[in-house]
Amino acid sequence: MADVLAPEEILARIPQQEPFRFVDEILEVGDDRVVGTYRWRPESDFYRGHFPGHPVTPGVLLVECMAQCSVVPLAIHLFHRQGLAGTLTTFFTDANVEFAAQVPPGARVRVETSKIYFRRRKLKVQADMSLEDGTPVCSGQLAGIGVIA
């Protein structure tokens, strides 16, 4: 089994980049768990139209943030542990998410993830997003698969 990547190394390997990168920091990573954070940039262009006068982070971007803070870094870690680093890229494949609160511009969110299963290059997780003060935002199951890079 390969050595363990540091959270900063995993963050550097996440393929999404600005302006479509929604993970700032990986706080914790292990074979069964990942914790990541992201601060929503108030200057992001999508806030102008969602919704004028009362900007709210779109739910589809919250789901993407959950994937980038959960499925992608955990898969990078697990593929590295199997000696497959650099040969597979993780594609987000599906989600079943329930929403509980809005995320305003400038808010920092935390995504805590636990592995449900990892087999045949497919990873499924339980991910829970909350605001910095602990307010639950959304939660659900997300999945991804490793494809040849």
List, by residue number, the catalytic residues.
50
Count, residues in the chain: 149
Place of tokens 């339980």: 126
The residues near 34 (Cβ < 8 Å, ≥ 6 apart) are 26, 28, 69, 70, 73, 74, 77, 111, 112, 113
Helix (H) or strand (E) holding 111: strand 108-119
Residue 137's nearest CA partner among 36, 66, 53 is 66
Decide if 142 contacts 125 (C-beta within 8 A).
yes
Decide if 127 contacts 109 (C-beta within 8 A).
no
As a whole number of angstroms, the distance between CA 100 and CA 17 comes to: 28
